[in-house]
Structure formats: structure tokens, C-alpha cells
Chain A
Amino acid sequence: MVTSKSRGHVVIDTEECKGCELCVEACPSSVLYSSDEFNTHGYHPAAYKGEGCTGCGICFYTCPEPGAMTVYKRWDLMTDTAECPRCGGEYKVFHTDEKPEVLVCTNCLKPIQEKVIPIR
């Protein structure tokens, strides 16, 4: 899935997305789409095609929900798949630019070395 075209990465919290589709329309790379699935609120959340995100951040600023969209601007800084101690699953972790030693889970969005807090 990870290709050289993917300079960024976007994670959508499907439960926070209200399906307004503004990001789908705004994404200049057309890598977002409206999912056929329903979330628990009955909306069709936006979804990422899985590759091609440039990390431009346009979807983030288009989206009205504070927590629905997270954009990682430096896909190349991601490590290999690892297990996140917080959410348990296997997820990509991401070195931040500011603090290279901190790893961030792309799923729960938390730095993984800190004290484990319950996942929402």
C-alpha cells in the first residue's frame, strides 16, 4: 500500500465523521471517497483510498469536526508496522519531526511511549 506517491497519510475517525463529503470534494488528489458503510450515527463516513495522499492538509481544514481528520504530512518518516501498546492492534507508527524519538500511532494518534490511557 505504501508507495512513493504517498508523501502523506490521512486517518479518518469514522465515528466522528458526519459524512458531509466536503473533504471528498476538496482533496486535490481525489484520494478520499464516501464509504458505503454506515457509522453508528447513520452517516457514510469518508474513507481514504489507501494511497496517493500528499499530506497537503486541505481535508483537515475543510472538515468542520475537530477530531475527524488527522493528516500526517511525512509518510517517509513512518516506521514499519508495529504493535501499539495503547490500541493493541498492528499499526504504522510515525516519528514526528519535532521530537524524533517520539513514536505516534496512526490509529489512536497518541505517542506510544507515554503512559497508556484507555482508548476512546
Chain B
Amino acid sequence: MNTILKKSDSFYDVYERRPGADKLTTTYCPGCGHGVLHKLIAEALDDFGVREKTIFISPVGCSVFAYYYFHTGNVQVAHGRAPAVATGIKRAHPHSVVISYQGDGDLAAIGTAEIMHAANRGEGITVFFVNNAIYGMTGGQMAPTTLIGQKTMTSPRGRTVNNEGFPICMSEIIATLKAPVFVERVMIGDTKSTMHARQTVRKALKLQIEKNAFTFIEVLAACPSNMKMTPSRSRQWVKEVLADYFPLGVKKDVSGEFERKDLSRMVVKNSELHDALNIETAKVDSEKIAPYREKIINEEIKIAGFGGQGVLSLGTVLSEMSMRHNYEVSWLPSYGPEMRGGTANCSVKISKKKIGSPLVANPTILIAMNRPSLDKFEHDVISGGLIIYDDSLIDRKPTRDDVDVIAIPATKIADELGNTKAANMIIVGALIEYKNLMSQEVVLESLGDVLKRKNLVELNQKAILRGAEFIKNLKK
């Protein structure tokens, strides 16, 4: 033990993030169990020298502001989602120490699915689960852990088994899963139990630091304010009543035989990716794509129509062809519950720069293949953008006057070619020609690799040419 027991370095000296004049005290009520657990965690982070690589996930609940206090990396997440966010962070930063800190409303009610699956996957995180038998922050509503007979705001006559079921024992549930390495329920009740909790907190964090082990520590703690008890009385209640229903102790411990989990990231080589996606980049003649090498491209395209019009494959063809020009690409489909019919749309991003998110909220280009799609997305297009719509099916013109508009009777042209379904490729041809996005030659050559049905390649090549021709005639 240290010679001086003082505020840990893993806490900020001054809580600058805390609004208002008082930047020295926490937001917790006098005697709240959260503060003690915070201190035990912070002390361990100090002692293990991991403060700088710790990422603390604060939940929704009274500990929502843990990021005011912990001088670590911090993320505050949506109610119950801490284990999911912790999963992502730990995987992206395998060398960090990730703490998912949650209350019982957070973990055992709204976030039940997240904790179950994170535990089941055995993510290399440490979960601290504060069970105070109540929703603290919102003023004392019943939690899944509220005891039978316990009166709360939402169980004013006391919780009954018939109406609300039994208090849920999360530690016992988590311990039944295969992946968790160490599961224990401790309490902050009296000195002895708190000092034991201290050891448990340290063991759990150590297991993450040394072995990337998933550990789950349930901490029975007092919420004097909502128990309407003095701090002293509330700790006694935790010890005598809460711990009577929720038995303390180790529920699972396989830390001895558990071998360090390897979290090094799987790095996929470009060539492996190309093999998996069946893209033969080598086949693309670099001479032919040379003119596009310096081209600055940053298109966000929304393609919409009804199911069966080939809206999604219009997007995939554009994406595949863009990859062949070494652009960065994303493709994101969105469709209704129907297998056929209904509406469908997809978002395609084509860029010279790496793409962060595949979502397209404000397209630079809208391709509308039916009326509802034009109605729905017309006003999302950025000013100066482009709307391409099939005027053989859409009986109105776009109302926007600050965008370019191309009306192309794609379906009618496709019919002339002998297959209505080629309408989407007519639009591909038109778009490429109008925007000079890529080499038509490369597109035509590669179509055979991209389309699944090889007997349609010729028809689709013709369709692309007809689309391009339509634009050339327009330009004349």
C-alpha cells in the first residue's frame, strides 16, 4: 500500500468539465457507492501504470459524468450500450484498457442484450456493474434488481413476483457463459467488504492488462438518496438486505488456466480482398485509367426506385467500376421488408479520399427511377447537384432550379433494346458520359466480370452505349 493515500492521479485534479462553480466535488450524493468504486478503480489504474492507455466508458445513470472525473480516455455512451462500444474500442485499440462502467438499470434492463453478447464473445474488457437495486438518476424507479417487496416510485406497493418477476442475478447468469474468465459479486458495505472489493477490482483489471480477459464485477452499493436512508443506514442495508438476496462471492474463475487472448488485428491484404471480391485489377489497362488518376472526385450518389428495377445493381456496377479506377468506394443498400416490389434505394460514395461513413444524406447525384423516389429524395440533393430521372415512368419534372436535371427515358430505351431490365445500365452509361467519371472502354470490358448472368453482358453493354449516346445527343 502507498505511504500516502490521496486522490489518485487517474482523477483530474480539478473537474474542469463539470459545469458551474464547484469543480472539486463529484455530482454524487453524500454516501453514494459510485464514488468509492471510482476511487478503487482509479487507484488500481495508478498503481498498474495504465492510466494513459485506459478508456473509460461512462453509461447513462448517475455515473453518466464519470468523464468529468477520470483522467483517462473517456466515451459516454447511450443507455445500456457500454459493452457494445467497449467492444469496438477494444478491438480498434487492442493495447488499451477498456472499462465498461454501468448501473443496474443500464446493464440489466435496457442493455441486457449488449452485456450478454459482449460476455458471450469474451471481449477483452472489464465490466463494473453497480447494483444499487434502483434507478438512481431518474429518481428511484424500479430496476430489474429491485428486491421483492421493495417500494420504489414505480412499485409503490412493493415489487411483487407476480407483477414484476424476480430480481435478476446478473453475475450468476454471466457465469453460466463459456467465455467470461472471472465473475464476482462484491459489495461496498463495511470496511472489510470494501477492502475485499478493492482486491477484486485490481484482480479484474490485471486480468485485462495481462491476458485480455473478460471479467465481470458486480458491486452491491448504496444509493442513500433513493433508499431515503442515511449513508450509514444505507450501507448497512446493502450488507444485511441486498447481499442476502444477491450472494457475494466468486461466481466463476478460470483465470488460472486462461491463456492470453490474442487481439492483434487481422490485416487483410488488398490482393486478398480483390480475390474475395473476384476483382481482377490486373486486367485493367493502366493506360486506359490514366486520365482519371488526377481527377478529383467526391460523389455521393443516391439511387432509388422500386424493387426489381435493378437499383441495387446499378449501384454495384458503379462501385465495381470505380474500384477498377482505383477510387475509394462504398455501397450501402436499403430496402423494404418485401422480397419483390416495394421500394429500394442504395447509397454509393465514390471518392479520391478514404470514406468514413457509407451513409448518403445529401446526395450530389440523385438517380430517381420512379415517382416516389423523386418525391422522397429530390429535396435532399445538394445545391448544384444533379438529378437524373427516368421520364418514361415519372410524370413530373423536378421542382428544384438550383440543380442540373437530366430526364432520360431509360425504361423506354431498354424496351427498344428488348429487355426492360436494362434500364439501369442505360443510366450507368448516361451518368458516366455526363460526368466523365470513368473510362467507358474499361466499363464495357469489365462488365463480364461484374455481372453474374453472363448471357446478359452483351445486352448491358449495348444499354451503356445507348445511355452514353443519349447524353452525347443532348450535348449537341
Check: B32 CB closer than 8 A to any chain A CB: yes
Q: How far is the CB of A94 from chain B (nearest CB, A)?
A: 8
B residues whose Cβ falls under 8 Å from a Cβ of A:
1-8, 11, 13-14, 22, 24-26, 28-36, 38-40, 42, 69, 190-191, 194-195, 198, 224, 230-232, 235
A20 and B31 within 8 A (CB): yes
Which among A61, A63, A74, A98 has the highest number of chain B CB atoms within 10 Å?
A61
A66 and B69 within 8 A (CB): yes
A41 with B232, Cβ < 8 A, contacts A19-B30, A20-B30 known: no
B194 and A73 within 8 A (CB): no
A96 with B4, Cβ < 8 A, contacts A20-B30, A41-B22, A41-B25 known: yes
The distance in angstroms between the C-alpha atoms of A94 and B2, with both chains bound, is 14
Q: How far is the CB of A2 from chain B (nearest CB, A)?
A: 17
- Which residue of the partner chain A has the closest CB to B23? A120
A97 and B24 within 8 A (CB): no
As a 0/1 sequence over residues 58 to 102 of chain A, the CB contacts with chain B under 8 angstroms (1 = contact) are 101111111111111110010000000000000000101110000
Interface residues on A, range: 35 or more
Check: A43 CB closer than 8 A to any chain B CB: yes
Q: How far is the CB of B48 from chain A (nearest CB, A)?
A: 16
B3 and A97 within 8 A (CB): yes
- Which residue of the partner chain B has the closest CB to A67? B7
Which among A41, A43, A62, A74 has the highest number of chain B CB atoms within 10 Å?
A62
A21 with B4, Cβ < 8 A, contacts A61-B194, A64-B36 known: no
B22 and A70 within 8 A (CB): no
A73 and B4 within 8 A (CB): yes
A16 with B32, Cβ < 8 A, contacts A57-B5, A67-B11 known: no
A25 and B22 within 8 A (CB): no
A66 with B39, Cβ < 8 A, contacts A22-B235, A60-B5 known: yes
A70 and B32 within 8 A (CB): no
- Which residue of the partner chain B has the closest CB to A73? B3
A16 and B24 within 8 A (CB): yes
User: Out of B1, B5, B69, which one reaches A70, CB within 8 Å?
Assistant: B5
Residues on the A chain within 8 Å of B2, using CB: 73
Q: How far is the CB of A110 from chain B (nearest CB, A)?
A: 10
Q: How far is the CB of A87 from chain B (nearest CB, A)?
A: 15
Check: A109 CB closer than 8 A to any chain B CB: yes
B231 and A22 within 8 A (CB): yes
